Structure 1
């Protein structure tokens, strides 16, 4: 069944984010999602799993394998509210098994979601730079689904921290990288970090006074263009191609 959070945006631009676990959206690109939500973008978040195999159980631990999935779902819903994400959908795949799911079936499910949402931008993991088997698997299949769908929007891969400040190390150029200024949306990102309580309690800095905690965040989040044969028109906006087409 679909899990839907109350929709708060109508019309305008649409963004579809397809990730593997609760907290991927916050810890990696929460500032960007908050920025676009604040600008009126309708954001649909897809989480392949509920993160039930995560090793963090709170600090001190208060969850177990029987209770963690429900807790992480609740926390994700709260984080979505903090970031302004309007729609949430679970693929109901068991954590740490995404790479073993039938590829054709899962690709078709994601393609159907693309057809349903008609996004201007799709975000997912890079299939080789995702850092976790679930990340890489969902990135690979979302990329394939995007290409099969004939979606007219743009595909971007999320990246960790400021690693793409020097993209040449990964076979990309600066012209392949979108650098999004999220400095005005760090409060929302911190609130979402704190919403993912069982995952963030162990990180003491998250719970410092707001000013100190906010200082730990970078002012930018970085994204790799899915089709790097076409240069970015505006490296500071994921929607620049679509905006240009509608002028």
Structure 2
């Protein structure tokens, strides 16, 4: 017989493109829900091996950066409380060129296997980077095929969705997560991505000063806008 508490455990699937996406964009939210006992699975399409930041001063090269960024991501996951990490082994900066059907099928299989209550990914048009947009498009198609699109939310950058109207959304389409109690974990995850964050001097200031640079909220866009009104402050509501 399955343990009932395990059966009822809330699950989140996060489908991103690169190591550091999870920390730099929504680390506070991930730390919040992990701290509440949510079982989080993070999917990284690539290992970020084509990134231009090699440390400050540089200590990595094209041969060593992939392994370094993988290890940094594992450390960041520990900081945020993410228990499960999956790489899709796609070469960095080529996600838009892989077979779309095959990529969608891989993500759909994960959605069906994990059966998450909440799925996070990039918006296919507002993702900002071709890899972001491509993984978001495939994840959206996977959720549609698995019948899980109502569970899907798109990340947003900074406080852009505090005023979502210029992007074609209303405030009813946005979930605003209070991450003020989880900024220390977010900072630790930033610092874990050492080769990417060393160039940012503010990240390495004393904790209180560095934390003051973070916003107190992170914002998510509902993939399905026609559902009855739900909480604007909880992804699991």
- Normalising by structure 2, report the TM-score: 0.96
Cα deviation per residue 1:135-170 (whole Å; 9 max; x = unaligned)?
A: 000000000000001237610000000000110000
Residues 157 and 224 of structure 1 are in contact (CA less than 8 Å); yes or no, is this contact kept in structure 2? yes
2:90 to 75, 90, 93: 93
Q: Could you tell me which residue of structure 2 aligns to residue 185 of structure 1?
A: 182
Partner secondary structure for residue 74 of structure 2: helix
| Pairing 1:55–2:52 present | yes
| Pairing 1:205–2:196 present | no
Residues 158 and 223 of structure 1 are in contact (CA less than 8 Å); yes or no, is this contact kept in structure 2? yes
Q: Could you tell me which residue of structure 2 aligns to residue 133 of structure 1?
A: 130
> Runs (4+) of structure 1 moved beyond 4 Å?
none
In the alignment, the residues of structure 2 paired with residue 130 and residue 152 of structure 1 have an alpha-carbon distance, to the nearest angstrom, of 18
Residues 114 and 149 of structure 1 are in contact (CA less than 8 Å); yes or no, is this contact kept in structure 2? yes
Structure 1 gaps, min length 5? 1-8, 241-247
1:117 to 105, 114, 117: 114
Aligned length: 232
Structure 2 gaps, min length 5? none
1:196 to 169, 193, 198: 193
Q: Could you tell me which residue of structure 1 aligns to residue 81 of structure 2?
A: 84
Q: Could you tell me which residue of structure 2 aligns to residue 105 of structure 1?
A: 102
* Alignment CA distance shift 1:198-1:232 (3 Å): farther
| Pairing 1:21–2:18 present | yes
* Alignment CA distance shift 1:209-1:126 (3 Å): same
Mapping for residues 168-183 of structure 1, pairs under 5 Å: 168-183=165-180
Which stretch of structure 1 is more off in the superposition, 168-177 or 223-232? 223-232
Q: Could you tell me which residue of structure 2 aligns to residue 227 of structure 1?
A: 224
In the alignment, the residues of structure 2 paired with residue 220 and residue 144 of structure 1 have an alpha-carbon distance, to the nearest angstrom, of 28
Mapping for residues 147-158 of structure 1, pairs under 5 Å: 147-151=144-148, 154-158=151-155
In the alignment, the residues of structure 1 paired with residue 149 and residue 225 of structure 2 have an alpha-carbon distance, to the nearest angstrom, of 16
In the alignment, the residues of structure 1 paired with residue 211 and residue 130 of structure 2 have an alpha-carbon distance, to the nearest angstrom, of 30
| Pairing 1:165–2:167 present | no
Residues 120 and 152 of structure 1 are in contact (CA less than 8 Å); yes or no, is this contact kept in structure 2? no
- Measured after TM superposition, the shift of residue 232 of structure 1 is 4.0
